[in-house]
Amino acid sequence: MAIVLKPKSNNEAVGVPEGIHKATLSKVTQFTNAYGLRVGFEFTLHGKDVEGKAVMRSTNPVLTAKSKLVEVLNGLLGRELTSDEINSGYDVDTLVGKYCNVLVLNSKGKNGVVYSNVERIFQVAA
């Protein structure tokens, strides 16, 4: 019997131009990767040349005052979480559908594919 080895995937990551883009938080998921348990925030972009494209930011699920998770939540809310909200926990599902701005930067992965990553989230100015 022959053993046929195939590449992991022929699909290349879809990149978007670097910069600040209008977006909507479209999904929040939990998953495990090489870094352990993660919370994934998927943003759907709006605007010319990026409409409907999705970008993601993941963080450790631990909610502490200085965590990246709090940084993401603060950006989505447009304010800092209170110590009560941090201590009692925050239901991130309530933020799905929230309109915001995201700063996207591109970087090359170990496999040579360029990925678009959300570096910061900003509340839309009123």
Pair of tokens at residue 33: 């990767």
Q: What pTM was computed for the model?
A: 0.84
Predicted confidence (pLDDT) at residue 23 exceeds the cutoff of 70 = yes
Q: Give dist(CA 100, CA 12) in Å, integer.
A: 27
The predicted model gives 41-46 an average pLDDT of: 97
* Confidence at 60, pLDDT banded by 50, 70, 90: very high
* Confidence at 6, pLDDT banded by 50, 70, 90: low
Pair of tokens at residue 115: 């990925």
The reply to whether CATH 2.40.50 applies to domain 19-123 is: yes
The predicted model gives 75-104 an average pLDDT of: 94
Predicted confidence (pLDDT) at residue 10 exceeds the cutoff of 70 = no
Pair of tokens at residue 94: 């309530």
The predicted model gives 104-118 an average pLDDT of: 88
The predicted model gives 7-29 an average pLDDT of: 81
By three-state DSSP, how is residue 39 classified? strand
* Confidence at 7, pLDDT banded by 50, 70, 90: low
Structural domain boundaries of the chain?
19-123
